[in-house]
Amino acid sequence: MDDDDFGGFEAAESYEFGNGEKQTTSPAIAWAAFPTVSEVHRSPDVLLEHSVPSSCLAPSDSFILSSDNVATAVQTANSVINPAVLEEQVNLKFLGFNMETQIKADIPVTSSNVIEDKIVVTSTTALIDAETQRANEVKSCLQQAVANLEIKLCTAEEEKLKLKKELEYLLEKHSVLEMDFLKEKKEKVPHQDHYKTLQEKHKQELEDMRKAGHEALSIIVEEFKALLQSTVQQQEAAIEKQYILAIEKHSHKCEELLNAQHQRLLDILEAEKEVLSERIEEALTEQSQKHKEVLDKCLDEERQRSKEAVAAAAKAEKEVVQEAVLKAVEEERRNMEKIHAEERKMWEAERDSHKEKIAQAVSEAMQEQSKQNQEIVKEALMEEQKRSEKAIEEAVKRTREELMEYIKEQKRVSYQWLMGFTSCSEKLV
């Protein structure tokens, strides 16, 4: 049987975009859902018995059926399309895509409130797990649909073998009838004329049925292509929207986390400054107290020594020259007061110099510690920001790659399924 006997799929048109994707045709053809020919699914022997009266097939009134006509009748019967089978196949495919769409719509974008630094990692992992589970479920649905189509293809092959056997049987029967017809040809001229008339009528009916079947199959295939393409485009648009929303949500969360970390580090720095200032004040107070105690102790010792020296001198010179001693004591007292005043000034100057040195050292230590703290905080902020940006970029890149792989896989599976369906239809034709 030639490929042109049933017309193939030239009536099913498809258009393409610039990027290679197929443009859908109109999915709303109302009369395409009804079978065009509902009473032509019959076996070849039933067609022959309907076309030829029973009186013409009797042994006494047998006539010749040419092998070409019988083969044409059987092949035409093989090419009759059962609309219920095609409708069942289309419904199975739409059921698979509807299940896939429902699964994708039912899976929410997971979000959980995790403490501080674990929010980004947990949300990214949950998103990846959800997308992986979704892809596995879609893949299982498509595998189930492919398995159902393979089972139907095996059934069609078995029916084809049965029809071939029936064809061989009819050819054998035809040869027997042809031999009988040759024997009685001269006596059966009227029957031959009647047979020619019936044969022409039968050919016309078969031609009409073939055209009707070809038109119905072309319409069904075109409608199915349109619905399949529109479903795939809707799914791709929904997936793209979900990924965009998820990426925006995670970017907002990352910004909030970075702001919170920055504020927390500033608070820590402020607290450390306050603690350091308190410690420096305490150290200065303690140091000044110690210097004051040392100075008072030295003054007391010096006074005690001077008193003892004056008393000893007065006691030694008392008997000899009391007046000289008194004058000397008075003069010594004045000298001691001057000396004490000078020593006190020296001690005060030394204490002031020590205070200035201590204050300068403390201020230098505070500045150095502040610079070190600022550098540490800046480095921590930069490292944390780099890690967060890197994690965000990796998550976005990973989600984009998974989205592109998923879209490519969907296109590849849809294309393979469509090619399988067309090859199945060609085999049935």
Q: What is the pLDDT of residues 263-275, one digit of tens each?
A: 888 888 888 878 8
Q: How confident is the model at residue 316 (pLDDT cuts 50, 70, 90)?
A: low
- Name which of 111, 364, 134, 83 is nearest 248 in CA terms: 111
Q: 79-88, 227-236, 353-362 — which one is most confidently predicted on average?
A: 227-236
**Distance from the Cα of residue 310 to its chain's centroid:** 101
| Position 154 confidence tier, pLDDT thresholds 50, 70, 90 | very high
Question: When comparing pLDDT for 343 and 155, which is higher?
Answer: 155
What integer pLDDT is reported at residue 310 of this predicted model?
A: 61
End-to-end CA distance of the chain: 10
Q: Can you tell me whether residue 22 is helix, strand or coil?
A: strand
Alpha carbons 253 and 99: distance in angstroms, whole number: 32
pLDDT digits (tens, 9 = 90+) for 218-238: 888 888 888 888 888 888 888
Q: Give the pLDDT confidence score for residue 202 in this predicted structure.
A: 83
pLDDT for position 91:
52
Render 81-113 in DSSP notation, one character per residue.
--HHHHHHHHHHHHHHHHHHHHHHHHS------
Report for 157-166, 272-281, 328-337: range of highest mean pLDDT: 157-166
Residue 3 pLDDT exceeds 80: no
Q: How far apart are CA 33 and CA 40, in angstroms?
A: 18
Burial class of residue 381 in the structure, from the number of CB atoms within 10 Å of its CB (0-12 exposed, 13-18 middle, 19+ buried):
middle
Provide the 10 A C-beta neighbour count for residue 376. Answer: 12
d(CA 277, CA 284): 11
Would you say the C-alpha torsion 274, 279, 280, 285 has a positive or negative sign?
positive
Highest mean pLDDT pick, 23-37, 56-70, 362-376: 362-376
Tell which wins on pLDDT, 381 or 147: 147
Helix, strand, or coil (residue 16): strand
What is the spatial distance between Cα 69 and Cα 72, in angstroms, rounded to a whole number? 5
The yes-or-no verdict on residue 321 having pLDDT over 50 is: yes
pLDDT digit string (tens) for 236-251?
888 888 878 888 887 7
Top-ranked range on mean pLDDT: pick from 73-87, 203-217, 394-408 = 203-217
Could you tell me which of 427, 428, 419, 420 has the C-alpha nearest to residue 14?
419
The average pLDDT across 73-83 equals 43
Rounded Cα distance between 75 and 428, Å, is 11
| Burial class (CB within 10 angstroms; exposed 0-12, middle 13-18, buried 19+) of 409 | middle
How far is 163 from 352, CA to CA, in rounded Å?
A: 122
What's the whole-number mean pLDDT along residues 321-326? 64
Greater pLDDT, 57 or 305: 305
Q: For 182-219, what is each residue's pLDDT tens digit?
A: 877 767 677 677 778 888 888 888 888 888 888 888 88
Q: Please choose, from the candidates 33, 155, 123, the residue with its C-alpha nearest in 3D space to the C-alpha of residue 87.
A: 33
Q: What's the token pair of residue 204?
A: 């016309």
Task: Measure the CA–CA gap between 64 and 181, rounded to whole angstroms.
Answer: 6
Q: 146 vs 364, which has greater pLDDT?
A: 146
| Cα 419 to Cα 228: distance, rounded to the nearest angstrom | 13
- How large a percentage of the chain has pLDDT more than 70? 60
Q: Bigger pLDDT: 1 or 203?
A: 203
Provide, rounded to the nearest whole percent, the portion of the chain with pLDDT above 90: 2
pLDDT band for position 161 (50/70/90)? very high
Integer angstrom CA distances of residue 184 from 52, 62, 63, 173, 198: 18, 8, 8, 17, 19
Per the model's pLDDT, the better-predicted residue between 258 and 86 turns out to be 258
Rounded mean pLDDT, 120-142: 80
Q: Crossing angle, helix 83-106 and helix 189-317, to 10 degrees? A: 10
Written as six digits, the tokens of 27 are 């999915």
Longest dimension (CA), the chain: 198
pLDDT score at 280: 78
Backbone angles phi, psi at 23, to 5 degrees: -90, 135
pLDDT at 85 over 80: no
What Cα–Cα distance (Å) separates residue 208 from each residue in 50, 79, 204?
16, 13, 6
